[in-house]
Amino acid sequence: MDLAQSCAVADGVLIIKKEAGWTSHDVVAKVRHLLGGVKVGHAGTLDPAATGVLPVLIGKGTRIAEYLVEWDKEYRAVLRLGDTTDTQDATGTVLASHATDQVTEAAIHEAVGRFRGPIEQMPPMYSAVKIAGVPLYKSARAGKTIARDARTIVIHTLEVMAIEGRDVTLRVVCSKGTYIRTLCADIGETLGVGGHMLALERRRVGPLTIEQALTVDEVVARHALGRLGDDLLSMDLALSQLPVAVVDEQTADRVGHGAPVPLAKILRWEGAAAGERRSHEPVRIHDSAGRLVAIGKCPEVSGDALKVEKVFSDQVV
């Protein structure tokens, strides 16, 4: 039984619990093969050694990747103090080692506290960030260090969950573009002993949580039983953090052809931030029956219409 036979929603988001050793590309290739070659993508790469939530986008669900990658993310990371590695994680070569006997719990909490809120973070050399069109990791593997600018990220939450010897377990809620291994390395440097990320689990991507996630083996088993559709989120549900503009059928028909939505034609606002909309914020556009018609963007303060970005007029909630 293929996906079209086994589920009512053929386009959407599957929440995968990636296990260690799999690349994000491996997971996508496995799901694509399982579903008979339908279009499959993902939102937010996880390194092979990392585990946890990987949103896998099915069919037309691939068109909403740009909205999912904007969401905040929650991680559980283990920082190992004392050893600095070239990759900032446990897969790299140890460059320097320092004793950690003199590092107190109070000092750890104080150092961690310095990294809350908006901070400047330098993208690591072993990353997919491109400089002059070349991914940094390719330059790193060639033994080169490339000049790069720090980026502003936001650490919404940073908590010490446990300290066991030189291993510090952290809970991190952060903005997109945050490198947790760089955060670990920077905390170690602040403590004067260095450090690297020993382990990483992504617990949440926006509203998509690890409690909802399936391992690849579970996906295979549920597909074989014809039940995978029960776990596939519709595009509308996956985008539930976005506010909703409800329009009448005539306006919905025009939206289906890409026409903008005059604010006067919006019957009502629903959902997240319905009463507090920001300029250029993405918005789901529903018809009066509750179907997802399109995704638009709020106008400038002086604007009077939603601009339509993506049309999904054949979607079912």
- Write out the catalytic residue numbers: 47
DSSP 87: T
CA atoms within 13 A on the CB side of 175: 12
Give the whole-angstrom CA distance, residue 121 versus residue 216.
Answer: 33
Is residue 213 packed enough to be buried (19+ CB in 10 Å), middle (13-18) or exposed (0-12)? buried
Q: Which of 309, 303, 305 is nearest to 251 (CA)?
A: 305
244-247 and 266-270 strand pairing: antiparallel
Give the whole-angstrom CA distance, residue 123 versus residue 150.
Answer: 7
For residues 127 and 137, the answer to whether their CB atoms sit within 8 Å is yes
Tokens of 126: 């072993």
Alpha helices in the chain, H assignment, sequence order:
3-6, 24-34, 65-68, 105-113, 136-141, 180-190, 216-224, 235-238, 249-255
Q: Which of 207, 145, 191, 174 is nearest to 76 (CA)?
A: 174
